[in-house]
Amino acid sequence: MYGENGYTLIKELARSEDNLPPYNAELVTHISREIKKIYDENQIDAQQSINENIEASILNTIRVRNAVTKRNVRCLMAYHFNRLKCLRTMRWEFGSILPADIKSNLSTAEIEWFSKYSRLLANYMRSIGEDGVNLSIDLKPPKALYIEVQCLVDYGKFDLNDGTTLLLKKDSRHYLPRNECEELIRQGVFKHII
């Protein structure tokens, strides 16, 4: 049945919320081929109807095929678009460096887009005000200056703004300025304890 591949592609993406499945190059290629094939079929039929002056009802066939192509294109567009949207969220949540296993799910073009978006965003943040504003922190309204956090991984050295250096070990607890550890909480290095 026409359009089944597109449907499968979209369903696969819709099912995985908050997580990006591997780029399905195989199915994308399949759909591309279908588009190409249908285009060629239409060319042949159109040519024939001009040459042989046969009944106009072949135009109906062409109309059906055009509808199928439109659908296929929509599925491809939506697939790529929604993946970029997800990547965008990842830029905000993971920062400009993606974990290797997520990166391996992306196509080359997507990795390229991600770094372009990252750069764009960094440029914009630098351009605000006198010396730029980092928009990827201060995500929640502040309640207290210092918060208690527990370290979830062996992170290594961490420099604080006042010049001291901490060694962050797994399960160690720290009492730190909120604005300095927020990004690490978002990235899952720290856990905020109340």
Partner 1 sequence: MEDLTIDDLDNISTGSDDHVQITPAEVIEMMEEAWTNEKFAPEILPNKSEIVDIILDQITTMEENIKKLSSSDFTKSIYQLEVDRLRFLVSSYLRTRLEKIETYVIHILKEEEKRVERGSEKYLTEQEFEFAKEFSFTMEQYFDKMMRFYPGVPADTWSNKIIQPNNNTFVFLKSKKRIEGVPIDEGNAESDLVDIQDGSRVIISYNSVAELVKNGDVHLI
Partner 2 sequence: MSLRVSYSPNYYSLDDILATQERVPCKVALTIQKMGHLNPSVAERDLQPGTSLELPLWLVSELSQSRAPLVNPELPKIYREAYREILKADACAVDLHKFSLFFYELGSHIKRFDKKQDVHETLLHTFRTRFRQLMDLADNSMSDPTVQQTLDILERKLFNDAYKARMKLNTWLKDSNTTIEAANMVINHKKRKRMNIEDLL
List residues binding partner 1 (CB under 8 A). 32, 35-36, 39, 66, 69-70, 73-74, 76-77, 80-81, 84, 88, 109, 113, 116-117, 120, 123-124, 127-131, 133-135, 137-142, 144-145, 178-179
- Residue 179's binding partner among partner 2, partner 1, none (Cβ under 5 to 8 angstroms by kind) is partner 1
7-15 long-range CB contacts below 8 Å, 24 or more apart? 7/75, 9/75, 9/76, 9/79, 10/75, 10/78, 10/79, 13/79, 13/82, 13/83
Per-residue three-class SS string for 50-109: HHHCCCCCHHHHHHHHHHHHHHHHHHHHHHHHHHHHHHHHHHHHHCCCCCHHHHCCCCHH
Closest C-alpha among 154, 190, 149 to residue 173: 149
11 binds partner 2 (CB under 8 A): yes
Q: Are 150 and 190 in contact (CB under 8 A)?
A: yes
Choose between 39 and 169: whose C-beta lies nearer to partner 1.
39
Site map for partner 2, 36-65, x if CB under 8 A? ---------------------xx-xx-xx-
Choose between 86 and 166: whose C-beta lies nearer to partner 2.
86
**Smallest distance, partner 1 to C-beta of residue 9, A:** 13
139 binds partner 2 (CB under 8 A): yes
Give CA separation, 191 vs 157, 171, 194, in Å: 17, 10, 10
Site map for partner 2, 140-159, x if CB under 8 A? x--xx--x------------
Give CA separation, 55 vs 41, 59, 62, 66, in Å: 17, 9, 13, 19
- Interface residues with partner 2 (CB under 8 A)? 1-3, 6-7, 10-11, 13-14, 18-19, 57-58, 60-61, 63-64, 66-68, 70-71, 74-75, 77-78, 81-82, 89-90, 92-94, 99, 101-102, 139-140, 143-144, 147, 178, 182, 185-188, 191-194
